[in-house]
Amino acid sequence: MISISVLEIQEMIKAQVANPEFATALLSSLKITGIHSLKEASATDVAFFFSKHYQTDLFETNAGLIITGSAFVSAIKAAKPPAWEKAVFLMCDDPYQAMGVVTAKFSSFLSSHDHQVQSGTLNQIHPTAIISENVKLGIGIEVGAYSVIESGTTLSDGVKVYPHCFIGKNSSIGKNSVLFPKVTIYEKTKIGERCRIHSGVVIGSDGFGYAPIKDPVSKKTIDHQKIYHLGNVVIEDDVEIGANSAIDRGTFGSTIIHSKVKIDNLVQIGHNCEVGEGSILCGSSGMAGSSSLGKFVIIAAHAGSGNQVHIGDYSFLAAYSGVAKSCEPESELAGVPARPLDDYYKILAIQNKLLRERGKDRKKS
């Protein structure tokens, strides 16, 4: 069982005690053994509060340690939930980031899917796994049942391959990367270090390209000529790809996912796309072929970019939006076609005003 002192957690997240008049006695004696939501936490658990949506839970929680944002402290103190006098409150500037730090500490003890750092010198290969003779294996490799690794592939130290994965010819996977069950990696794919690729992900499948075949007389389309995709996918370090997402290989050249990119579930990235460092693609978003994102772009759920469109560094695309033309860095866009947020909200206001006036006219008639 994990046991961490409050003082150690305070140091980890660079926090201050928000209620020293009540918490001082607990600082050195309280040991934290778990991490839970406010509603489920016990006296030896740590919980987090940084949203007003959970204020009811804050009044009912039994958590021994509560981490919150500095901006919330005055309101909590004024409201006087029972926990204020019974628990330790730690405050920091960014409690959401603090939650990441604390969950990372607990994860290696509480989750069998942690895989933050692989260790060990012995390879563990399940007897049903099929590994070609000329595959290069580092140390501390694990390959699960019924996985297939084809010739010319390299698995670096600490790579974990769960059951039922497929890795195609001449691919490479960097140190301490993890492929969860039923991941499919097509040939020539390059994956960096410390990547996490979740179940059902397909990397390197054909891009969506078909040339219409027309009837010489009617000029109407009668069939489709497939464009064969001969490139690959390159994924750099510290990338995470959510379940059932797909990344197509380049027609020629590479589809490139740069370091620190985070991709949610059910995301589609087309052929020859380039995703800039640290960008985030939320669930069911997509990128059409040859489109690109700058650094630390956020694409919200169900949003997407058109062919050959570039979205500049640090831009934000709101949910259900579609970008039809390239945009400058730090753009904030919404709608179809996407436009600056201010313009989008003005249009909504005008539409709502027209609807209200129309409703008044109907009542008069």
Q: In whole angstroms, what is the distance from residue 59 CA to residue 110 CA?
A: 27
Contact 282, 245 (CB under 8 A): no
Contact 169, 150 (CB under 8 A): yes
Look at residue 312 and give its three-state secondary structure: coil
Catalytic residue among 115, 271, 302, 310: 271
- The DSSP code for 331 is -
Instruction: Report the phi/psi class of residue 302: left, alpha or beta, with left for phi > 0 and alpha for psi in -120 to 50.
Output: left
List the one residue out of 343, 90, 327 whose CA is nearest residue 351: 343
| Buried-state track 114-153, b at ≥16 Cβ within 10 A, e below 16 | ebeebeeeeeeeeeebebeeebebbebbbbbeebbbbebb
Token couple for 207 = 């891009």
Token couple for 40 = 């489920």
Token couple for 176 = 């301490």
Token couple for 83 = 């926990």
Q: Give yes or no: 224 in active site.
A: no
Contact 5, 31 (CB under 8 A): yes
Q: In whole angstroms, what is the distance from residue 224 CA to residue 131 CA?
A: 37
Catalytic center residues: 271
